[in-house]
Each structure stands twice: as C-alpha cells, then as structure tokens.
Amino acid sequence: MSIDCYQWSWLRHSLSMNYNLEIKKFIYSQYVYTGLRITAGVLIPGIILYHYDLLVAMMSIPLGALFVALTDNPGPRHHRINGMVASIIINCVVVCIAGLSHGYHWLIGTEIILFSLLFSLFAVYGTRANSIGLIGLIVFVINVNQLPGHNSFYAALHFTIGGTWYLILSLLSNTLRPYKPVQQLLGESLIEAGNYLHGKALFYSKDFKGDAIMQQLMQQQINIHNEQNELREIIFKTRKFLKESTNTGRRLTMIFLDSIDLFERIMTSQQDYIQLHKEFDGTGILETYKQHINILANALHNTGLAVQAGYAYKNEAELNTAFEQSNLAFVTLRKQQLNAASVEGFIKLRHILHSLQDLTERIKRLQTYTNYRQKISKQITSEEVKHFVEPSKFDMHLLLSNITVKSAYFRHALRLSIALIIGYIVSLAFALGHGYWILLTIATIVKPAYSLSRQRNIQRVAGTMIGAALGFLILYFAKTNTPIFIAMLLAMIVAYSFLRLQYLVSTAGITLYVLLNFHFLYPGNLGSVLSDRILDTVIGSAIAFVCSYFILPAWEHEQINGLVTASLKANKAYFNVIADMFSIKKLDMLKYKLARKEAFVSLANFSGAVQRMLSEPKSQQLHLQQYHQLVTTSHMLTSYIASLSYYAQQYGEKYGGSDFEPMAKQVNHQFMYAETLLEDIRTENVFVAGKFPMNKKVQQLLTQRKSDLEAGFESDELTVRKQLSEMKTITDQFQLINSIIGDEIKILEQIKD
C-alpha cells in the first residue's frame, strides 16, 4: 500500500467513525468563528452604505475593515489591540502615499521596492507583525490605481474609519466571549491529539505500514506543536488566566497543562511493533489494544468538541469498560500462554496495558475540567510560566541585523520586491483592466520557502478558476439580486473561514465574492471583470513562480543541518534531565518541562523542513532519503526519551544510584559524536551495547524468572516479576535510545560522505 493510499485509508477511517463529529469540529472551530466575525465586520458597513447609495463612493470603509480583520490573529488581547492599531496607522499612511504618487510611475515603482523590503522584514518580529506588514503592502498595491471618486486623503480617512470599526467589533466580541478563542484552539489541540492516537492505533493492525504511519504522525505532531505554541502565547500572557480568580480561566489553563503532559504520555507508547506482531499476532490481544486506543482517541475528539462548545462531557463508563476489556484480554492470554520463552513479550504487553490505563485516567481527568460548575484551586503562577514564552518587544537592532543576503528574511524581501516591480511593469505595459490584481497575486503567493510559494501558486490559480466558474453560473441562472446576495454572503464566510485552513477553498470563495460584489457595484460588467481576474491571476502566478525559483531561492537543504543540530541538542538536554532522575539528584520540574518543550519544538521544526523539501524540485532534494530517515529516527528518539521520563518519574527514586550512570554516559557519548559529525569533525565513536552492570542484574532476574516458571515455583514470583518488569523496561529504554542514536549516526555519516 502506498503512502497516499495509506493516508486515504486513515482519513476514511477517521471520517467513517462519525460524520457528525467532523461537522461539529468545523462548526465549533476558530475558523468559522473568525470567518463570521470578518464577514460581519465587512458586510455591516457595506450594507449600510449600499442602502444609502454610498457604497461605490465609500468602498474604502469595508475594505479598511477587511484588511485590519486579516491581521487579527489569535493571541493575547493587548497584542491583538496593538496589532490592529498598528495596521490602521500603516494602512492610512500607505493609502496617502499611494494617492499622492498617482501618475508618477517611477515614484510608485520606487515605493513598491521600499515598501516590499520594509514590510517583508516585519516577519523577524513574528507572525502577527508579518501579517501587518503583508496587509500594509497589499493596501498600497490596491491603491496604486486610485479608487474612483476619491482623493487620497478621503480614501485614507475611509480606511481608518473601516479599520476602527472592525477594532471596536473585535473588542466587543472579545468582551462578550473572552474565553472563546482559547476554547476553540484548545479544543482543536485535543482533537489533533485524538488524531495522533488514531495513528498510533494503526501500529496494532496486522498489516501496518510503519513509514506511512510515521509520516502521518509527524504531520500531526507539527500541528499539535503549532497549536500549543499559540495557546502558550494566549494563556501565559493573558491576565485572566494567571492573575484573576475566574474558575473558567483556571479550568482552561489546567486543561492546557494536562494536555501537554497527556501528549508526552501518548508519545511514550513507542514499541518494537514488528517484534510485537511476531509474538502476538493471532492471539487477539493487539486487536483489543487497538480498539481501546481508538476509544481513547474518540474520547479526546469529544472532549475537544466539549471544550470548544463550552459544555460538560464525560464518558467514564465507556473508558472504564474499554480498559476492563484490555485487562481481561491480557490476563486471559497470560494464563494461557505465559512461559519461559514468552516472558519478555508479556512484559511488553503489561507495560502497554499500564500505558493505556494511565492514558484512560488522564483523559477522564481532562473531562472533569469541562464541568465549569465545579470549583478548582489555582495551580499555576506567572513566575512559573514566564520561561515558556518569548518576551514581545520591538528591537530595531533585530531588524537591522537581518539586512544581509545571509538572512532568509532579507532574501525573501528582495525576491518579493523584484517580483512586484516586474508585475508593475507588466501591468503598465499591457494596460490591463485591473492591473493591481497582478501585484495582489504576487504579494499573496511569494513566500520565504519555495515549497510554500509553489503550493500557494497552484492553489491560487485553481481556486480562481473554480470561483470564476461558480460566479458565472450564479449570475447566469439567478434572476434576482436576492440569491446573488445570499451567495456572496456565503462566499465571504467560506473565504475567511478557510483562509488559514485551506487556501484553495479560500481563494475560490474570495474570487466568487469579488465577482458578485462587482455585480452590485457595476452591473453588466461581468465579462470584463471575469476575464481580468483570470488573466491577472495567471500572469501574477507566472511571475511569482519564476521569481521564487530563480531569484535568491530558499532551499530547505541550505538550512536543514541547523535544524538537525537543534533537534539533536534539544533531545540530549531532554535525555540528561531525565537521566538525572536515576541518580541522587532531585527532579527540577521547571527544567524538565522546558527541556521537553524544546525537544518537541525542535522536532516539529525539523519535521516541517523535511515536509517542505518534498515539494521542491528533484535537483534541490539533496539527501532527501537520508533526511526523511533521520526525521523518522528523531521522532522515535524523542518518543523513547519521553517513555524513559515516565519510568523515571515512577521508579527513578526506587532505582536511583550509580547503576544507570554507565548507560547515560554511553548515550551522551553517542550524542556528542553525532554533533561532531554535523560540525564536520571526525572522531572515533565507540558503540557499546549489552555490557553494562545493569544488564547483568536484569539478565539474572530474567533467568530466575524463567526458572521459576519452568519449575512452577510461585513463592517469590511476584517480587521477582515486579522487579524484573520495572528494571528490564528501564534498561530497554536506555538501550533503545542508545541504538536509535547509533542509527542516526549512520545516517549522518551517509550525508557527510
């Protein structure tokens, strides 16, 4: 089965579980909520102006609302306010400048270069600043040709009025439902964790395809990482969650913190699935475990929906029944097949069962937080969380330090500037009806990475064609303005609901909305608008493609080694914090959580780079196979370290001392050797496996356990079994970590040869 077929199989399984679940997931999501808010912000002033026959003269008011709305990304309230105010000011300034420059093509060309360079560099300050810069550039572009009936100062005033109106609407929405953005994003994160669990369940299928499943899990891990980062920003920088005594805020905070621990626990369930299937296929135990995991995943889905919608959800009876069935299946199989030859396999099964029990209890605890009537005590302080979020401040030195060809931000800015000036020259040379659409297409398509630009390019052209076809059909068959207006309203909602979710659908919605809007503004002019939209989009897309490919292109292989190094170092720090738990050192929980966060973040960044490389030209996919193998092993390494962290917290104090120090030293030696390879420094690597003192102790216990089973001796069986199960599992995790780093070293040697 190919990867594509396997992805479809997974998607079909997920959808077939409950179509209503998927529909609710979308309806309750942040995307629809955002789409409705933006549509209301644009449509309300538009309808009022249309009623008084002022829409054509004051079209800049709904446009001003739209462009400020597009910068209103999720985040702390004060960040959103500052961002929207900055956008209003910048939009006002660029409209004035564009208007005053009208007719001076050389001046407009110069301004295009300067604004594209400046606004593109806003990206160094993060996603919100990048959105503000991009919108400022787009506002300038669409005002290059003056809007009919306005001078520049009136247009700037109208943009300011529209932007201010949306700012008030957004603040009002936030005041009425202050927790809604967090609920939506938090619920979405839980649903993604459920999808991740569904993926883990596939490993228990008899004909599982490990590479295909792992690729899907890595994509899910990237999604979860992005959502957790957004949640950290909102929750840890918002007073309502940390300083006010609101029960809702505390509950949402606890759901978030527990969800991070839950995701780490989900990652700990990594096993040697090939060996597991060799030992237990045909017994039915793996199918029972798979069913249990899917029930847990569905519980996470429903819990996520409950968080988004704000109602209480609990399916404790179903979760308890699922665990009882798994436990019964294990006990029954153990009575039937446990012997000296199978004892190691049953140790694995027992620990999988313990993991399922732990996940079950964690999900049940999450579900208790969805009942807002119950009071909980505050368990987090602002002092604890300040280490988990980056301080937000404007640093001019950061901007200036990126004005170099070595900076990916500056190279993108140069690339975009050249593309826009080419587009402007083309629009002047051929006297196109809506030439600014060429510039608009270029500004929205050209991205820092070639793969993202290529993806946007394809989606932009396809979406434009689909939207144009739908617009033609609606205007051809509609006999009155009422169905046309309803279609335009729906197109706006779809366009802005899918803007961050699916760009192709969003582009189709925007094109449809634009065409229907022009029908109301300029009746009978559909043909020219339709042809202009398609032609300008195709021209803009062609320019964007050529510039993305040939002008200072950003290929993933140029930066990926830095991401590999970051992931390796983060995993090393994560491992050492955990390994210290097996010594006399006391666990520093803050240090542990910070190390865990960095390990997960760096893994997601590395995974994202490999995913983007898959969309690049074959000639630029240098060592793609090796990097794909490396990101898979890195994912397994992080999972194994997460598993070790669970056992360290359970048994670290019990087995603390010097027994595991030789293993930890060997792992660190492997880490250091891998780092020297990345730095092109060759040293001798010594790989040791199975020669540690702890291995001898485990082997002695294993021999004793097998002898007891063969002799039917039961008097000390429980003590030996428990100690063997714990010590062997810990030892196996150290050896798996050691082994997987050894695999990474072999891959790195292939890359460096």
**Per-residue pLDDT band at 341 (split at 50, 70, 90):** confident
Q: Is 383 exposed, middle or buried (0-12, 13-18, 19+ CB in 10 A)?
A: exposed
397: pLDDT strictly greater than 90:
no
Q: CA-CA distance, 330 to 289, in Å (whole number)?
A: 9
User: What integer best gives the mean pLDDT of the chain?
Assistant: 83
Question: 308-317, 652-661, 694-703: which has the highest mean pLDDT?
Answer: 308-317
Domain boundaries, the chain: 182-210+253-374, 405-554, 556-752
Q: Average the pLDDT over 177-204 and give the result.
A: 89
Please give the CATH topology (third level) of the domain spanning 556-752. Answer: Methane Monooxygenase Hydroxylase; Chain G, domain 1 (1.20.58)
Please choose, from the candidates 691, 701, 699, the residue with its C-alpha nearest in 3D space to the C-alpha of residue 721. 701
Would you state the pLDDT for residue 693?
A: 63
**pLDDT exceeding 90 applies to what percent of the chain?**
26
> Tokens 């790989």, residue?
687
Residues with Cβ within 8 Å of 531's Cβ and at least 6 positions away in sequence, in order, are 433
Residue 360 has pLDDT above 90, yes or no: yes
- Give the model's pLDDT for residue 381: 52
User: Does 373 score more than 90 pLDDT?
Assistant: no
The residue among 626 and 151 whose pLDDT is bigger is 626
pLDDT of residue 14: 47
What is the CATH code for 182-210+253-374? 1.20.120
What gap in Å lies between CA 595 and CA 642, rounded to an integer? 11
Residue 381 exposure: Cα atoms within 13 Å on the Cβ side: 3
Amino acid identity, residue 693? P
Q: Decide: 536 and 432 in contact? Cβ < 8 Å.
A: yes
The sign of the torsion formed by the CA atoms of 471, 542, 137, 105 equals negative
When pLDDT is averaged across residues 549-571 and rounded to a whole number, the result is: 89
Q: How confident is the model at residue 11 (pLDDT cuts 50, 70, 90)?
A: very low
pLDDT the model gives residue 4: 45
| 138-176: pLDDT as tens digits | 999 888 876 544 578 888 999 999 999 999 999 998 888
pLDDT of res. 684? 60
pLDDT of residue 570: 94
Find the mean pLDDT for residues 99-118. 90
What is the full DSSP assignment across 449-463?
A: SHHHHHHHHHHHHHH
Q: What is the mean pLDDT of residues 295-310?
A: 91
pLDDT at 89: 96
- What's the pLDDT at 323? 93
| Residue closest to 683 by CA, chosen among 675, 692, 693, 673 | 673
Give pLDDT, residue 132: 94
What the block records as the tokens of 549 is 């490919």
Q: Which helix (H) or strand (E) holds 77?
A: helix 77-100
Give 388's pLDDT tier (boundaries 50, 70, 90): low
* Pairwise CA distance, residues 283 & 201, whole Å: 17
The predicted-structure confidence for 236-278, as pLDDT tens digits, reads as follows: 776 555 555 577 888 888 888 888 888 888 877 667 788 888 8
d(CA 94, CA 67): 13
Q: Which residue has the higher pLDDT, 468 or 148?
A: 468
Q: What is the 3-state secondary structure (H, E, C) of 19-39?
A: HHHHHHHHHCCHHHHHHHHHH
Higher pLDDT, residue 421 or 588: 421
Q: Are 600 and 225 in contact (CB under 8 A)?
A: yes
pLDDT at 78 over 70: yes
Find the range with the poorest average confidence among 354-363, 541-550, 703-712.
703-712
The answer to whether the pTM exceeds 0.85 is: no
Q: Is the pLDDT of residue 362 over 60?
A: yes
Q: What is the pLDDT of residue 291?
A: 94
Can you give the pLDDT at residue 327? 94
- Helix and strand numbers (H, E) in the chain are 30, 0
Q: Which of 328-332, 661-665, 744-748 has the lowest mean pLDDT?
A: 661-665
The answer to whether the 182-210+253-374 and 556-752 domains have the same CATH topology is no
- Tell me, what's the pLDDT at 415? 93
Question: 478 in helix, strand or coil?
Answer: coil
* Residues 471-486: tens digit of each pLDDT: 888 888 887 888 888 8
Percent of the chain with pLDDT strictly greater than 70:
86
- The pLDDT score that the predictor gives to residue 408 is 87
Contact 220, 199 (CB under 8 A): yes
Mean of pLDDT values over 536-558: 89
